[in-house]
Structure 1
Amino acid sequence: MRGKLLVGVALTVTVGAGCTPSVDRLDGDAGPAGSAAGSASPSVPGAPTTASSGSVTPATVSTSPAAPVSGTSGPATQASEIRRTDWPNAVIRKLGFCGESDDSVAFRNGSNGFDVPCRILPGGAQPVYGEFIVEEPANAPSTEDALVLVELGNPNAARRQALVPVQLSDNGRGRYAWPVIGGDQPGSGGVKVMTFLSYRLVGQNVEATVRRLDGGTETRRWRKADGSGNWERY
């Protein structure tokens, strides 16, 4: 295990009237959840995500469930391997959150296609990138990682969301999940669902604005609890 933790990328978002300070790079932000699954690149459905860098103009996230996300960033840079992922059609290993018995979850057009589906980047959400997962072995070249939103369950039924850290495999071609940051269990017979309105990386930690089961919003923060990649709120 690498002793020195890698520093990730912070994503600035504005929710309602509040805003956070500018940071070095804007990579993506989470769209409102709970609607039909969307592509990581909303203007071209199914297209791989591209990289962006430069100074930041804060993104705006509406609290309306059907509203789009807006944001701007500086000139594009060369995309890393993880940024070339076609997320709506990705194959992700070790994603136990989706409830599959197989080692891998294969998404097609944003869903694994089961009767109780697992959807990736629902509602037009976008991945966030940064070096926030410790590389193994310690002398391995550092690579960017991704944080993506998934949702398990049918619309208008019991659903639960989670933020999934995704890392490249040793050969640089596969993608596998680390322990997820799960949203609250659904309440009132599954009708009420906690949703992630926005999320970002702050160094190696994760910060998100969520809508609680009671309809209120709050900011939550998580950090790694151990060397296995489990998370704890703080």
Structure 2
Amino acid sequence: MRGNLLIGAMLALTFVAGCTSPVNRVGGDPGPAGSPSTSASPPSPSVSSAAATGSAGPGAPATRTSRPATPVSEIRRTDWPNAVIRDLKFCGESDDSVKFRNGSNGLDVPCRILPDGARPVYADFVTEEPANAPSTEDALVLVELGNPDAARRQALVPVQLSYNGRERYARPIILGDDSSPSGDRVMTFISYRVVGQNVQATVRKLDGGTETRRWRTVNLAGNWERY
């Protein structure tokens, strides 16, 4: 009888020890901030192997696992440092096209496109010509005329695709202020953006101060006025 009691007590102790033993956890390096958390737990038995691998069973409709990439507009494909832009009279060339190479047209008084790391702004903000032309994105780019050690002047240039979508045309520009007579002080566009059909920019004036300026078109030709 005593032997049976001892055996029962030992079995009870074994059961309690098994219930209170610590749970083994699988460790791992934390992922970068914002990444989905990972789990070391095995998949639930209720999840079928077909669902886990992403395959569809017989008769199940095919599902798309990723969305197609958004197509890039033609104007965004422009290689701006080597672009050819027509009607850009700001650069002072006699030809109807300005051909940039490595960001400059290479003349004695050079015209530089997107100087000092400036970037283009894309938006559909230029009136389409002709009126039945397909609506496409346009670009606003910064161009600077003059040598770095002499009088310089900057301008914001709206660029529009031609009707056939292959050529790039400059529309009426937004001209910056004249530099100082000695050329040691230059008005520069610090930043610029398109707001609806209008243009807004932060500029650094000749006296070193900054201000926000806004322009809107005043006629169908696309000329700008400050307001």
1:117 aligns with 2:149: no
Shift of 1:225: 1.4
1:143 aligns with 2:142: no
Report the Cα distance in structure 2 between the residues aligned to 1:188 and 1:211, rounded to whole angstroms. 17
Report the Cα distance in structure 2 between the residues aligned to 1:207 and 1:101, rounded to whole angstroms. 31
Shift of 1:191: 1.2
Report the Cα distance in structure 1 between the residues aligned to 2:71 and 2:176, rounded to whole angstroms. 33
More helix by share: 2
- Pairing of 1:1-234 with structure 2 (within 5 A): 77-234=70-227
Structure number with bigger Rg: 2
Cα deviations by residue, 1:101-137 (Å, 9 ceiling, x for unpaired):
1000000000000010000000000000011011122
Shift of 1:170: 1.2
Report the Cα distance in structure 2 between the residues aligned to 1:176 and 1:130, rounded to whole angstroms. 15
CA RMSD of aligned residues (A): 1.3
**Counterpart of 1:161 in structure 2: which amino acid?**
Q
More strand by share: 1
Report SS of the residue matched to 1:209.
strand
Shift of 1:138: 2.1
| TM-score, structure 2 as length reference | 0.69
Report the Cα distance in structure 2 between the residues aligned to 1:207 and 1:231, rounded to whole angstroms. 12
Contact 2:171-2:222 at 8 Å conserved across structures:
yes
Shift of 1:171: 1.1
Which consecutive segments of 4 or more residues in structure 1 shift more than 4 A?
A: none
**Counterpart of 1:210 in structure 2: which amino acid?**
V
Report the Cα distance in structure 1 between the residues aligned to 2:181 and 2:156, rounded to whole angstroms. 23
Report the Cα distance in structure 2 between the residues aligned to 1:105 and 1:137, rounded to whole angstroms. 23
Higher RCO, 1 or 2 (CA under 8 Å, sep at least 6)? Answer: 1
Can you give the 5+ residue segments of structure 1 that lack an aligned partner in the other structure? 1-75
Report the Cα distance in structure 1 between the residues aligned to 2:197 and 2:221, rounded to whole angstroms. 14
Cα deviations by residue, 1:81-112 (Å, 9 ceiling, x for unpaired):
00000000000000000000100000000000
Report the Cα distance in structure 1 between the residues aligned to 2:132 and 2:74, rounded to whole angstroms. 19
Shift of 1:78: 2.0
Contact 2:139-2:159 at 8 Å conserved across structures:
yes
Can you give the 5+ residue segments of structure 2 that lack an aligned partner in the other structure? 1-68
Report the Cα distance in structure 1 between the residues aligned to 2:176 and 2:150, rounded to whole angstroms. 16
Report the Cα distance in structure 2 between the residues aligned to 1:139 and 1:93, rounded to whole angstroms. 21
